[in-house]
A and B are shown apart, each in its own frame.
Chain A
Amino acid sequence: MTQPLPTPPTAMVPPAADGFALRTQGLVKSYGARPALQGLDLAVPRGVVYGFLGPNGAGKTTLMRLLVGLIKPNAGRIEILGQPYTWRQRTRLHQVGSLVESPTFYDYLSGRDNLRVLAASGARVPASRVDEVLALVGLAERGRDKAGRYSLGMKQRLGIAAALLSDPQLLLLDEPANGLDPGGIVAMRETLRHLTRQGKTVFVSSHILPEVQQLADVVGIVNGGRLIREGRLADLLSEGGHVSARVAEAELPASMAALAGFGAPIQARPADQPGQAVIDVRIGPERAAEVNRALAAAGVYASDISSGSDLESVFLSLTATAPTTTGAPGDGWGERA
């Protein structure tokens, strides 16, 4: 595995001048008979925040584990910072910082000592770096407290500090906003932005779509172990969108029939008010007037029409995991491939 990877056919992101920070080609991983990744092709340009999105069980955590050598792929290739990488080439990870799944620490050690433990493994880190990263994530004052006494958010911050220990060129973060309070999320966002301004690359795996929308430059969406879309966030948002109309429940069949002509995915869900329903049409927000006109032509008068374009709409339309039409408790958790 000495040849550089060819450009993945699904990549829609032009490479940065100095190439890719991370690439995978045909990455396959199964747990027994259950496939987790089925030929994943990914291209992460250098110097960006890359949002890696997917529903539960899509293969996000499996990819993270593969990238840091926790598990071995069944097939496929990985390139990190322009160099081929296999799970035995562990020293390649010295330039990578990671927070994979939930952060784990020795509860009986202080936050500072936990970082010392990590700093002694892998890439050598100057002793002063421990205090630097503690200060960076706002834990300087609590660094001597036992990690077992930390809140979930503090543990998350300590996990991010651990990922930053070796001043990595590539940062892999799994749900970094998990447990953080609003102030912590803003601070994390600023920190990650600061890192990309230094030319570093941040790869964020998440299903918190609004957070990724605020953070990412480039987005990859995975479903069923395959990359189904990759591109610049701005491009994806310009393509995605929705128009929602609130109608009387009794007029739902007529409304659905009237809107079927748009040829776009349509879903209905109960509205807040009794006897009302909301119909979501996956079309661009500029077509709201057309929806209004189509409903009126069918003799249906919407009490409210709204439109928008967000990552959630794009994600839902691509992964087909929209909420159900019944709104019953427990609905909406299953995947609708």
Chain B
Amino acid sequence: MALLSVALLKLVRRPATWIVFAILAGLIALVFISLGATAGSMESMGDELQIRVLLDFPTAYTIVAGFVVGFGGLLAVAYGAAVIGADWAWGTIRAIVARGESRVRYTLVTFLAIALIVGLGVTFAFVIGIGSAILAAEMAGIGSSGATDADTLASLPGLLARTWLGVAQAAAVGFAIAMLFKSQLAGIGAGLAFYFAEQFLQLVPALRDVLIYFPFSVSSAVVATTDAFDPDTSFGNFPVLDADTAVVWSIGYLVVALAVACLAAWRAQITQ
């Protein structure tokens, strides 16, 4: 517990944590306010309808979760890599290991702290996103009466938990890459490159059926339960895993990423 407590202390006191929170919440608020402001002024009826679907509660809850996983996953890759990469870049891991601390325990506890902070950030962004979506729905004249739907409200903790899992899994991938490279910069760079490569490869139709099993597609799919678009589990024109399958894959990726990170830490020759 002492190790977890100081791992959390390090993250809470770290300015990057709050900057990431602010960026995530700001982006999501910006998206929804923009949608609310532009609704009603679209030239195409189809575009107008799409915006109205995005802001229509209770579906908007899932849309908010999707944005949190999307933007949050991107930021989480960099954050996970930055946190453990900093221990290598700054040489602080040296002092920890030299005190006789278990490398594997340190790795796992550090990630657990990251996951808890990610949970806090996801909740914060989710609340900001819902507030922004309600505001946008009112601006667009759609109204937000659906936001208080009892069944939907009861399912929100589950949706939030899946959102957390998706973002934590993305953080785990960045974390593992940084641990493998023993570098903050390489971890962030490689993690983001991996993230964007996966997004761009979606443009190749032949790869889409395979890409749904890739880490960042999986992390996005954990909340892709909306039927706002195509009912046969596709999100727009892109196929996605159904949410329950995605959760299993996401947990699998998280476990594998942590195993890789632990193995890398266990074997590492610390010369930084």
Which residues, 106 to 134 on B, are CB-close (under 8 Å) to A?
106
A101 to B90, alpha carbons, bound, how many Å? Answer: 12
The reply on A237 being an interface residue by CB < 8 A is no
Known: A65-B270, A70-B98. A104 touches B6 (CB 8 A): no
Interface contact A106-B6, CB-CB below 8 Å = no
Known: A120-B3, A120-B5. A108 touches B13 (CB 8 A): yes
Known: A105-B92, A109-B13. A69 touches B2 (CB 8 A): no
The reply on B102 being an interface residue by CB < 8 A is yes
Which residues, 246 to 291 on A, are CB-close (under 8 Å) to B?
none
The reply on B206 being an interface residue by CB < 8 A is no
A96 to B101, alpha carbons, bound, how many Å? Answer: 12
Known: A71-B269, A116-B9. A96 touches B100 (CB 8 A): yes
Partner of A92 from the list B2, B14, B100, B106 (CB cut-off 8 Å) is B100
Task: Give how many B residues have a beta carbon under 8 Å from the other chain's beta carbons.
Answer: 25
Interface contact B94-A121, CB-CB below 8 Å = no
Determine the chain A residues whose CB is within 8 A of the CB of B14 once the complex forms.
106, 108
Known: A116-B6, A120-B2, A121-B106. A70 touches B97 (CB 8 A): yes
Chain A contact patch, size range: 35 or more
A121 to B91, alpha carbons, bound, how many Å? Answer: 15
A93 to B99, alpha carbons, bound, how many Å? Answer: 6
Determine the chain A residues whose CB is within 8 A of the CB of B102 once the complex forms.
90
Determine the chain A residues whose CB is within 8 A of the CB of B96 once the complex forms.
118, 121-122
The reply on A94 being an interface residue by CB < 8 A is yes
For B1, give the chain A residue with the smallest CB separation. A120
State how many angstroms separate the Cβ of A205 from the closest Cβ of chain B.
14
A166 to B9, alpha carbons, bound, how many Å? Answer: 21
A90 to B99, alpha carbons, bound, how many Å? Answer: 8
Interface contact A93-B3, CB-CB below 8 Å = no
Determine the chain B residues whose CB is within 8 A of the CB of A121 once the complex forms.
3, 6, 96, 99, 101, 106
Interface contact A162-B95, CB-CB below 8 Å = yes
Partner of A106 from the list B10, B106, B269 (CB cut-off 8 Å) is B10
What 0/1 pattern do residues 31 to 73 of A give for CB contact below 8 A with B?
1000000000000000000000000000000000100111110
Interface contact B91-A72, CB-CB below 8 Å = no
Determine the chain B residues whose CB is within 8 A of the CB of A113 once the complex forms.
9, 13
**Count of A-B residue pairs with CB < 8 Å:** 89
Which residues, 88 to 104 on A, are CB-close (under 8 Å) to B?
90-94, 96, 98, 100-104
Known: A68-B97, A117-B9, A118-B96. A106 touches B90 (CB 8 A): yes
Which residues, 212 to 231 on A, are CB-close (under 8 Å) to B?
none
The reply on A5 being an interface residue by CB < 8 A is no
State how many angstroms separate the Cβ of B239 from the closest Cβ of chain A.
44
The reply on B271 being an interface residue by CB < 8 A is yes
The reply on B231 being an interface residue by CB < 8 A is no
Known: A104-B90, A108-B13. A118 touches B271 (CB 8 A): no
For A102, give the chain B residue with the smallest CB separation. B91
State how many angstroms separate the Cβ of B72 from the closest Cβ of chain A.
23
Determine the chain A residues whose CB is within 8 A of the CB of B90 once the complex forms.
104-107
The reply on B15 being an interface residue by CB < 8 A is yes
What 0/1 pattern do residues 145 to 174 of B give for CB contact below 8 A with A?
000000000000000000000000000000
The reply on A316 being an interface residue by CB < 8 A is no
Known: A71-B270, A71-B271, A108-B14. A123 touches B100 (CB 8 A): yes
Interface contact A101-B94, CB-CB below 8 Å = yes
Known: A100-B94, A104-B91. A118 touches B10 (CB 8 A): no
A166 to B98, alpha carbons, bound, how many Å? Answer: 12
Determine the chain B residues whose CB is within 8 A of the CB of A106 once the complex forms.
10, 13-14, 90, 92
Determine the chain B residues whose CB is within 8 A of the CB of A90 once the complex forms.
97, 100-102
What 0/1 pattern do residues 1 to 37 of B give for CB contact below 8 A with A?
0110110011001110000000000000000000000
Determine the chain B residues whose CB is within 8 A of the CB of A120 once the complex forms.
2-3, 5-6
Which residues, 42 to 98 on B, are CB-close (under 8 Å) to A?
90-92, 94-98
Determine the chain A residues whose CB is within 8 A of the CB of B98 once the complex forms.
68-70, 93, 98, 100
Chain B: residues with CB nearer than 8 A to chain A? 2-3, 5-6, 9-10, 13-15, 90-92, 94-102, 106, 269-271
Q: 11 interchain pairs (CB within 8 A)?
A: A68-B97, A69-B97, A70-B94, A90-B100, A93-B99, A96-B100, A100-B98, A116-B6, A122-B96, A122-B100, A162-B95
Name 18 extra pairs, CB < 8 A, besides A101-B91, A120-B3, A120-B6: A65-B270, A68-B98, A69-B98, A69-B100, A70-B98, A91-B100, A94-B99, A94-B100, A96-B100, A98-B98, A104-B90, A104-B92, A106-B92, A116-B9, A121-B101, A121-B106, A122-B101, A123-B100
Chain A: residues with CB nearer than 8 A to chain B? 31, 65, 68-72, 90-94, 96, 98, 100-109, 113, 116-124, 162, 165-166
What are the 8 tightest A-B residue pairs by CB atom distance, in nearest-first order? A122-B99, A93-B100, A104-B91, A68-B98, A121-B101, A70-B270, A120-B2, A122-B100
